[in-house]
Amino acid sequence: MSVLLTCDVMDAFPESASCDLQFQQWGKRKAISGWIRTLKVYEDNTLVRQVLSEKSSGEILVVDGGASLHRALVGDMIATLAMDNGWGGIIVYGSIRDSAQINDMDFSVKALGTNPRKSHKAGQGVLDIPVMIGGVTFRSGWYVYSDADGIVLTENPVIL
C-alpha cells in the first residue's frame, strides 16, 4: 500500500501543521503514516521500551526526549521490538544509537542525532501528553505523516 506523502498533504491542506525541525532518518521504510502516541522522557528509556513492548496496529511513537543528545533513547533492540510488535515507526526528539543496524531494518526511525551512551533506566516519564516539537504540538490520537521531506500532523487521516 502506498503512503500519502507529506508534500501531497500540505498541497491539499496548506494549513496543516508541518514540523520545522530537521530530523535525521534511518531505516528502509522512508515514508510512513499512522496514529500518534506520545511519550515524554528525559535521558531515560524505560518507558520507551515498555510502550513499544505492547502490540500496535501501526501507531507511531513520538518521544519527546527534551532534545538531549547526551544519551540514546532507542537502539536496535528497541527498534526491533517495535517493528515486531507492529508499530509504524518512532520519532525521537533526542538521540538514538545502533544507527547503522537500524538503517538496515524495514522500519522508520527519526531522531535529532546519535550518541552511543546508554540511557538511564529509572522509569520516569509521562505517556500520552501533548508535546511541542519544532513549532507543532504532537497529540496522542492525532495522525502523522513522516517521510524524507518532513513531518506533518493532521487531526484525522487525509483522504485525497
> Which of 143, 82, 70 minimizes the C-alpha distance to 109?
82
Residue among 28 and 118 whose Cβ is closer to ligand OAA: 118
CB 159 to ligand OAA: min, Å: 36
Residue among 76 and 147 whose Cβ is closer to ligand OAA: 76
Residue among 17 and 74 whose Cβ is closer to ligand OAA: 74
> Which of 64, 61, 63 minimizes the C-alpha distance to 89?
61
Residue with cell 519527546: 64
Amino acid at 114: T
> Which of 34, 25, 88, 91 minimizes the C-alpha distance to 64?
91
CB 83 to ligand OAA: min, Å: 12
Residue among 68 and 119 whose Cβ is closer to ligand OAA: 119
The binding site for ligand OAA (CB under 6 A) comprises 45, 72, 74-78, 97-98, 118-119
Instruction: Read off the C-alpha cell for 1.
Output: 500500500
CB 94 to ligand OAA: min, Å: 12
Cα 1 from chain centroid?
20
Residue nearest to ligand OAA (CB): 75
Beta bridge pairs of residue 131: 138
Residue among 72 and 112 whose Cβ is closer to ligand OAA: 72
Residue 42 in contact with residue 124, Cβ under 8 Å? Answer: yes
Amino acid at 127: L
CB 74 to ligand OAA: min, Å: 6
CB 26 to ligand OAA: min, Å: 13
Instruction: Read off the C-alpha cell for 45.
Output: 528509556
3-state secondary structure of 145: strand
